[in-house]
């Protein structure tokens, strides 16, 4: 079991910076506005991500979905749902954890997001990083480098664990 499950305080304040229902409301609105289909499996994956205070790996998602519904989804089904959520800007991949979090912030998929990951409880919060993105773009251009992925993860202590 991860450290997040052993921590006693309420994670809601640091969970992902928003309550789980915000992620679902945002997802419905974004899908409607962009004519994307939020299928039942995509919604279910998003609900599990939004309900977790810490990033969730794909196989942990499969286990949670099996416990919740009594059926085990195929890994490819979950990975396809995750891919859709990432491309639609409804979830993020935490690279260092090889895990995912829901997103309810109105930013574009291409926008750089800074992730703050608590070493003690594992919760993740996100913040826009336009200035960091501009600096990274300048640094990369000066080196004649074309990044394909830009991820900024900062590790430390959340407000509850500090």
Query: Does residue 152 surpass a pLDDT of 50?
Result: yes
| Residue range 103-144, pLDDT digits in tens | 878 787 778 889 999 999 998 988 889 899 999 999 999 999
Beta-carbon contacts of 20 under 8 Å, excluding residues fewer than 6 positions away, are: 47, 50, 51, 102
55 phi/psi in degrees, rounded to 5: -55, 145
* 3-state class (DSSP) for residue 21: helix
| Residue range 20-68, pLDDT digits in tens | 568 889 999 999 999 999 999 999 999 999 999 899 999 999 999 999 9
Q: What is the pLDDT of residue 107?
A: 80
Q: Annotated binding site: which residue ranges?
A: 118, 121, 158, 161
60 against 2, higher pLDDT: 60
Q: What is the pLDDT of residue 148?
A: 84
Query: Does residue 11 surpass a pLDDT of 50?
Result: no
Q: Annotated binding site for Zn(2+): which residue ranges?
A: 118, 121, 158, 161
Q: pTM for the full model?
A: 0.81
Q: What is the pLDDT of residue 19?
A: 52
CATH number for the domain formed by residue range(s) 13-156: 1.10.10.10
The band of 4, judged by pLDDT with boundaries at 50, 70 and 90, is: very low
CA-only gyration radius of the chain, Å: 16
The band of 70, judged by pLDDT with boundaries at 50, 70 and 90, is: very high
Rounded CA gap, 36 and 59, in Å? 25
- Going from N- to C-terminal start, the domains of the chain cover 13-156
Rounded CA gap, 92 and 75, in Å? 18
Q: What is the pLDDT of residue 5?
A: 36
Query: Does residue 8 surpass a pLDDT of 60?
Result: no
Rounded CA gap, 112 and 129, in Å? 6
The band of 154, judged by pLDDT with boundaries at 50, 70 and 90, is: very high
């Amino acid at each position: 079991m991860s450290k997040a499950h052993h921590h006693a305080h309420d994670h809601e304040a640091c969970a992902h910076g928003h309550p789980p229902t915000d992620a679902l409301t945002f997802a419905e609105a974004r899908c409607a506005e962009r004519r994307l289909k939020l299928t039942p499996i995509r919604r279910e994956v998003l609900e599990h991500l939004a309900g977790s205070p810490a990033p969730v790996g794909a196989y942990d998602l499969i286990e949670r979905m099996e416990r919740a519904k009594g059926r085990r989804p195929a890994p490819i089904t979950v990975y396809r749902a995750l891919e859709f959520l990432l491309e639609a800007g409804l979830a993020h991949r935490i690279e260092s954890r090889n895990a995912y979090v829901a997103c309810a912030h109105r930013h574009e998929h291409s926008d750089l997001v800074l992730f703050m990951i608590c070493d003690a409880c594992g919760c993740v919060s996100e913040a826009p990083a336009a200035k960091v993105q501009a600096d990274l773009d300048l640094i990369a251009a000066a080196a004649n480098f074309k990044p394909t992925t830009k991820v900024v993860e900062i590790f430390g202590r959340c407000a509850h664990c500090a």
